[in-house]
Amino acid sequence: MILLTGATGKTGGETAKALAARGVKARVLVRDPAKGAALQALGHEIAVGDASDAASVKKALAGVERILILLPNSQQQEAMEKQLTDLAKQSGVKHVVKMSSMEAMASATTPIPMAHWAVEEHIRRSGLAWTMVKPNFFMQNLLGSAGSIKANKSFSLPFGNGRTAMMDARDIGAATAEVLAGKGHENRSYEITGPELLTFHEAAERFSAALGTKITYVPADPAVFMEIMKKVLPNEWHRNAVGQLFREIAEGGLNHTTQDFRKLTGRDPISLTQFVRDHAQLFQ
Ligand SMILES: NC(=O)c1ccc[n+]([C@@H]2O[C@H](COP(=O)([O-])OP(=O)(O)OC[C@H]3O[C@@H](n4cnc5c(N)ncnc54)[C@H](OP(=O)(O)O)[C@@H]3O)[C@@H](O)[C@H]2O)c1
């Protein structure tokens, strides 16, 4: 049995879909049973619980051999993911798969990548088999700019001329499903990226081509952007951590592509042009 955490979210949801498409039924830990209905419709089993509540996690882990550890960024993420690892080990899980990020490395200096790296190290020290899924920037992050693209034909983010090999969460789900249900992925880290290394000016060109109208990227002043973010991310720790991560991206932190996605899935990753076409109704 596979236990998924984070399956009501973006990448966990896509992982659940990709597993179901492969005919693999998993158990999913959900906080709100109502949010589990779509996962149940895919054939997955629901376990109601919270990563911070050890008793509910222990119950969900009964009979589980592989676990996907995937939680959103917060000040509690590192502690909760370490606890999930320890509970998994106590319950007899054999293989831990962690949703990490490409920026997570020993030399990381900002809170989110440092937390991911600390959890990665904790998992590697646990003695369990492990796999780290380390994605680049999600294309789905750009859905936050959909209103501006629709209304103003422009979007503003604080990435300057920084480049990312952004990738579609659907592809992250496909790659993660392969790691969970396929063979030979033990004790490996996969840095998965989209097909193209793009500045956000170049990303705007892909939007223009896909939507048939000129879309412009306007680099945001980071200080002004952080003021706007107060409404979106009221938690100060989270807002500052995201601000630091964005500065790293602007400075070239996600500046490479890899072949790991193709190795895992045997196909090319989804392009930004395709992503924009698939969500065109939100952008125009
Ligand atoms: N965005 C990027 O560009 C990017 C790039 C690389 C890596 N990442 C990493 O990807 C991860 C986020 O993935 P995502 O965007 O797919 O997440 P997401 O859409 O924010 O979903 C988070 C999931 O975690 C669940 N969750 C939250 N707190 C929980 C708790 N206490 N117990 C159990 N479940 C809980 C949520 O459940 P509810 O539905 O109940 O809230 C939801 O299913 C982060 O660790 C981030 O660092 C992101």
Which pLDDT value is given to residue 253?
86
CA distance 277 to 282: 10
Q: Look up the domain containing 138 and give its range.
A: 2-197+253-283
Residue 39 is predicted with a pLDDT of: 98
Which residue CA neighbors atom 36 of ligand 1 most closely? 6
CATH number at residue 136: 3.40.50.720
DSSP 3-state assignment of 94? coil
Residue 244: what pLDDT? Answer: 96
Q: What is the CA radius of gyration of the chain?
A: 19
14 within some domain: yes
CB 13 within 8 A of CB 78: no
Give the number of the atom of ligand 1 that is nearest the alpha carbon of residue 52: 31
Considering the domain boundaries, does residue 246 fall inside one? Answer: no
CA–centroid distance, residue 100 to ligand 1 (Å): 11
Contacts for 201 with CB less than 8 Å, ≥ 6 apart: 161, 217
Q: In the chain, how long is the greatest CA-to-CA distance?
A: 56
Does residue 7 contact residue 29 with C-beta atoms inside 8 Å? Answer: yes
Ligand 1 centroid to Cα of residue 99, in Å, is 9
Residue 162 belongs to a domain: yes
Q: Is residue 213 situated within a structural domain?
A: no
In a domain, 15, yes or no: yes
Atom of ligand 1 nearest to the CA of 71: 24
Which residues are 138's β-sheet partners?
167
Spell out which residues line ligand 1, taking CB within 6 angstroms: 5-12, 29, 31-32, 35, 50-52, 70-73, 99, 101, 112, 135, 137-138, 141
pLDDT tens, the chain, 284 aa long: 999 999 999 999 999 999 999 999 999 999 999 999 999 999 999 999 999 999 999 999 999 999 999 999 999 999 999 999 999 999 999 999 999 999 999 999 999 999 999 999 999 999 999 999 999 999 999 999 999 999 999 999 999 999 999 999 999 999 999 999 999 999 999 999 999 999 999 999 999 999 999 999 999 999 999 999 999 999 999 999 999 999 999 999 898 999 999 999 999 999 999 999 999 999 99
Q: How many domains does the chain contain in total?
A: 1
- Ligand 1: centre distance to CA 8 (Å): 8
Nearest CA to ligand 1 atom 23: 6
Let me know if residue 230 belongs to a domain: no
Phi, psi of 173 (to 5 degrees): -60, -40
Non-local (6+) Cβ contacts of 253 within 8 A are 103, 162
Q: How far apart are CA 173 and CA 170, in angstroms?
A: 5
Domain contains 147: yes
Q: Please report the pLDDT score of residue 12 as a whole number.
A: 98
Q: Is residue 218 a part of any domain in this protein?
A: no
Residue to substitute in 70, 117, 261 for testing ligand 1 pocket (most ligand atoms within 8 angstroms of CB) = 70
Q: Which residue stretches of the chain are H helix?
A: 10-21, 37-41, 54-60, 77-90, 111-125, 146-152, 169-181, 200-211, 222-232, 236-250, 260-265, 272-278, 280-283
Question: Which of helix, strand or coil describes residue 275?
Answer: helix
3-state secondary structure of 17: helix
Residue 51 has a pLDDT of 98
How many residues are present in the chain? Answer: 284
Token pair for residue 265? 């899935």
State the Cα–Cα distance between residues 24 and 259, nearest whole angstrom.
25
